[in-house]
Amino acid sequence: MSQPLKVAIAGLGTVGGGTVKLLRAGAERNAQRCGRAVVLSAVAERDSTRLAALPIGDAAVFTDAARMAAEADYDVLVELIGGANGIAKTICERAISARRHVVTANKAMLAHHGTELARAAEGAEVSLRYEAAVAGGIPIIKALREGLAANAISSLYGILNGTSNYILTTMRKTGRPFEDVLAEAQRLGYAEADPSFDVDGIDAAHKLTILASVAFGCATDFESVHIEGIRHVSPLDIEFANDLGYRIKLLGIARMTEVGIERRVHPCMVPIGTPIAHVDGVFNAVVVSGDFVETTMYEGRGAGERPTASAVVADILDIACDRGVPTLGVPVGSLRRIPAAPMEKVRNCFYVRLMVVDRPGVFADIATALGEHGVSMESVLQRSRAPGEAVPVVLTTHDTEEGALARALERISNLGTVLETPRIIRIAALDGQV
């Protein structure tokens, strides 16, 4: 049997603790599968109570992750601290420069610095692996880099944030408002005290940035992602969606077009008959379309100790078995320069909710504003009539450009009979294209 693979873990929080447990519980199985033992040689953690609760054995203990990265005896650094910059990025760079492999669950760091880190790893002839950074226990990075490597990917989309999916699912099932369900998610530990990254779409955008890079063979480009969250989704929108035959999901969407790559995160109405409409709670799902494989779907738990630790250890075992693959699917020198498709040119059907004064001529004014900007209405819903009072009115449109609808809604917002900012949710066909 070959020499053991020595692993150093920085950060023993939920995922780090799960990784320690899985390395210990699966030690015999790992050795059989890799032809060598995988051993925990060092850990970095400031919280002594975490250390006391974990089976770290005789691993060297550090309270300073930077010191561990510089001084410990290891072959693989596992970075589970998090954050786009700071100590997480520093220790990854330090390990790579010392020709040590890196495994990370840090989607923010990869979204902002993935190409730079991939270039450094390639130059040092070491692996940079990050299965746990996207969709928890779902092996979507491996699927894109290996299982679908023979395909030209045309599009992918998915539910990439379990917290937002839990909130939207619970709102639909209970009729409760966003703020109430968010507070519940925080009590249950599904949402952070500051939930912005989850509910405002940033976490999903980090993950989409990585997926788009691997799928399309291009540099990571977080700045090109259009990002919207779910704070504006109301129980009323969810009711109307159900009436129209849809469910509302926060989707990350990446699509290759003639003018460039679309990268966008926003709520979508998805047809109830599609599989992803039934992915509820904290689960994630990713749908990928390729030229030969056509459409494939991957579903599972997107976060949590055990699923994410499973992904971390899978990366460690790939390194132990010397299974090499370029960090972003192709060598950094082969990454394509593909422009970002302008959001105003993206085409969708739309759900538009207006709060209007119910009086004669309102619909005519709205229809005129839409028509002048080339936006065609497909249907109109109004639940009840209360002449002279404010009522919600829902329009759905035929396929149109984002920019055209935005200009029409700007004009509609200025009508004296429209009392609130129009609310829009994009309608996704999900027939292999989005």
What tokens appear for 383 in the block? 């639940």
Edge-to-edge order in the sheet of strand 60-62:
60-62, 38-44, 5-10, 76-79, 101-104, 128-129
Torsion sign over Cα 226, 227, 230, 234: negative
Burial class, 427, CB count within 10 angstroms (exposed 0-12 / middle 13-18 / buried 19+)? buried
Phi/psi for 194 (5° steps) reads -105, 100
Per DSSP, the chain holds a count of helices (H) and strands (E) of 15, 17
Q: How many CB atoms lie within 10 A of CB 372?
A: 12
Closest CA to 241 of 120, 134, 329, 353: 353
Closest CA to 75 of 145, 13, 7: 7
Catalytic residue status for 107: no
Cα dihedral 338/343/344/350 (nearest 10): 140
CA distance 300 to 307: 9
Burial class, 193, CB count within 10 angstroms (exposed 0-12 / middle 13-18 / buried 19+)? exposed
Catalytic residue among 21, 207, 249, 345: 207
Positions marked catalytic: 207
